[in-house]
Chains A and B, each alone.
Chain A
Amino acid sequence: MYPYSILALFLLVLGGCGDEGKGEEGLVREDLGKVTTDADGGVTLPVDVPEDAVSALITCGPYGYDVLATADLLVDPGGATIFDDDDPEATAMRVNVEDDFLPMLMPVSPDLDVQAGEHQLTLYVDSDSPVTVSCGAVYRVQPVEEETTVDARLVFVGVDGTVDTLNAQYAKTEAVLTAALAEIESVWARAGITLGEVLYDDFSGDTDSYTVIDDDKEFGDLLRTVETPGDRRVTFFFVQDITADDGATILGLSAGPPGAAAMGGTSKSGVVVTTAAWDEADPGGFLGRLMAHEGGHFLGLYHPTEKDGSGHDPLGDTPECSDGDGDGQVSTSECGSNGADNLMWWAASDGASDMSADQGWVMKRSAAAH
């Protein structure tokens, strides 16, 4: 099997050559095999990051929507702990707790760049019984350019006629959406990111079931429809609504962070935005910032400060803000230019569109960027 594996890897690296880095060129995919958790829910596996990798997206799953998983521990080739779930903000690495499929991205901050060599990842799956999952990695070996492009695909899921004529054919000239794409370009440009090719598709699956996303399974199953193998772009699904448990509207959700960039067929393969954010009175501004924000999560960005002040992103140049008045929420008025003016601030506001150099640094290393 070994020579065939080498050949397959060689072909994967070669595939797409001459396509300006848009396809498989610049990516190396590795099957890390199946692992089974022990009685305590843990299992350790080696992850050997190639010499020329600028980022490593490690994934494990699927394990279903009723089960959560995270990294318990991640140790670098030199033996240093770069992530410990007991103290998740001790280093500039982050790993989320996720249902069904767990993406882990290195690096998520210039303060802790990815290292070549064998890492030891201890995965923790919160289940009463042993769970077997498939793990893999997507290494981006394409060098990072000063100007980086992120392509997008917009998929319309049962939204035609709800706020406007909104389908693959007419969306290209629809005023609010056109303005939203211009807003994304404008905001991401501050991080050195160019919005590249945009594809438009009508959803071809069970539209009725996904027009309103009512739970995590519907969300994940919709993202799973991103084709395999996923190409190097961010897929935005437009739906009418995402509802919380009590029926309230959630405006948008990204897989992760990070999303399963350049991977199709997983419950973390894209972003969902709702037409609840469709505002003719603010053509494109609000919708564009929502898309840019969720796209930022997909590419590896976190909120500079979480809504309740409990956590911060791992970046050195995004301000941290604290809950000064102790009301359990870090508000825009409390944080003003101390994070609330950043695109990745937890709440939408007119001024929240700044981006930092470190945010651009992370986005440019995503496997979805080229």
Chain B
Amino acid sequence: MKLRISAALAALFIAFYTPFSYADDATRARVVEALSAYESVPSQADWEKMGDVGPELLALSQDTAGSPSVRSRATHALGYFPTDSHRDWLVSVLSDTGARSGLRRSACYALANGWDDEALPLIRPALVAEDKQLRNAAARAVGGIGSPAARAVLEERLATEADPMVLSTLKSLLGR
């Protein structure tokens, strides 16, 4: 019996599950265009004017076959739509060592922008990542939070960071 229920649930899951979905073509086109400017990116206010496009951004962020730049920018913009599912997705991107460095950096900034101090434990692993550009971005993202707790995280990292570039960023963020 248990097996039959499991099989039925699995069939239902397969029937209705899609890895990502778009609300409608017009909304998707609007979001993709906003993410396709050569020299600019939408601000938080710009995103708020577009309404709740979080689901479209999540779909674009998860679309591994899509344009890498749109994907990276969509990932970053999820920080302006701070839901639990977005946070979980961003954490998974940040921890994916096989992903492009730029995508992981975008996830890092998104977490800082969307969750402030709550993001500190989520970003902390990036501060010790092998990729120095990711460490540097993590330091900047934490610095952007600007709280006493964020400052304490930077102080802690300053004591152990060895790379001159990241050290320089940490010192600059701490006003030293």
Contacts from A to B (Cβ < 8 Å): 158, 162-163, 208-209, 211-212, 214, 240-241, 243-244, 246-253, 274-279, 281-282, 286, 290, 293-294, 307, 327-329, 331-333, 346-349
Residues of A within 8 A of B33 (CB): 331-333, 347, 349
Given contacts A294-B38, A333-B29, A347-B38, 11 further A-B contacts (CB under 8 A): A214-B140, A246-B43, A247-B106, A247-B109, A249-B72, A252-B39, A282-B67, A331-B33, A346-B39, A347-B33, A348-B37
- Contact flags B20-57 to A (C-beta < 8 A → 1, else 0): 00000000011001101111110110100100000000
CA distance A35 to B118 in the complex (A): 52
Closest-CB distance, B55 to chain A (whole angstroms): 19
Q: Is B82 an interface residue (CB 8 A)?
A: no
Q: Is B69 an interface residue (CB 8 A)?
A: yes
Closest A-chain residue to B132, C-beta based? A208
Instruction: Select one of B41, B133, B165 contacting A244, CB under 8 A.
Output: B41
CA distance A349 to B32 in the complex (A): 10
A346 touches B40 (CB 8 A): yes
The SS class assigned to the B binding surface is helix
Q: Give the segment of B8-16, B87-95, B97-105 that binds chain A.
A: B97-105
CA distance A336 to B165 in the complex (A): 45
Q: Is B76 an interface residue (CB 8 A)?
A: yes
Known interface pairs A246-B144, A276-B69. Does A347 touch B37 (Cβ–Cβ under 8 Å)?
Answer: yes
B38 touches A348 (CB 8 A): yes
Closest-CB distance, B77 to chain A (whole angstroms): 7
Q: Is B60 an interface residue (CB 8 A)?
A: no
CA distance A248 to B71 in the complex (A): 11
CA distance A253 to B110 in the complex (A): 22
Known interface pairs A208-B165, A212-B136, A277-B69. Does A253 touch B39 (Cβ–Cβ under 8 Å)?
Answer: yes
CA distance A137 to B50 in the complex (A): 45
A346 touches B49 (CB 8 A): no
Residues of A within 8 A of B140 (CB): 214, 243, 247
A249 touches B73 (CB 8 A): yes
B133 touches A307 (CB 8 A): no
Q: Which of B101, B144, B164 has the most CB of A within 10 A?
A: B101
Closest-CB distance, A351 to chain B (whole angstroms): 12
Closest-CB distance, B124 to chain A (whole angstroms): 17
Closest A-chain residue to B41, C-beta based? A248
Q: Is B61 an interface residue (CB 8 A)?
A: no
CA distance A286 to B29 in the complex (A): 17
Known interface pairs A208-B165, A249-B102, A333-B29. Does A293 touch B38 (Cβ–Cβ under 8 Å)?
Answer: yes
Known interface pairs A247-B137, A250-B40, A290-B38. Does A241 touch B102 (Cβ–Cβ under 8 Å)?
Answer: yes
Instruction: Select one of A248, A250, A279, A307 contacting B109, CB under 8 A.
Output: A248
A246 touches B113 (CB 8 A): yes
Closest-CB distance, A336 to chain B (whole angstroms): 12
Contacts from B to A (Cβ < 8 Å): 29-30, 33-34, 36-41, 43-44, 46, 49, 65, 67-69, 72-73, 76-77, 100-102, 105-106, 108-110, 112-113, 132-133, 136-137, 140-141, 144, 163-165
CA distance A354 to B57 in the complex (A): 29
Q: What are 7 residue pairs bridging A and B, where the CB atoms are less than 8 Å apart in the complex?
A: A208-B163, A212-B136, A247-B110, A248-B77, A249-B41, A249-B72, A251-B37
Residues of B within 8 A of A293 (CB): 38
B132 touches A276 (CB 8 A): no
Residues of B within 8 A of A247 (CB): 76, 105-106, 108-110, 112-113, 137, 140-141, 144
CA distance A281 to B64 in the complex (A): 11
Closest A-chain residue to B113, C-beta based? A246
B109 touches A246 (CB 8 A): yes
Q: Which of B29, B33, B77, B141 has the most CB of A within 10 A?
A: B33
CA distance A278 to B103 in the complex (A): 13
CA distance A247 to B38 in the complex (A): 15
A249 touches B76 (CB 8 A): yes
Known interface pairs A247-B144, A248-B77, A327-B49. Does A346 touch B100 (Cβ–Cβ under 8 Å)?
Answer: no
Residues of A within 8 A of B113 (CB): 246-247
Closest-CB distance, A347 to chain B (whole angstroms): 4
CA distance A365 to B111 in the complex (A): 47
CA distance A275 to B69 in the complex (A): 9
B65 touches A281 (CB 8 A): yes
Q: Which of A244, A248, A277 has the most CB of B within 10 A?
A: A248
A328 touches B49 (CB 8 A): yes
A276 touches B41 (CB 8 A): no
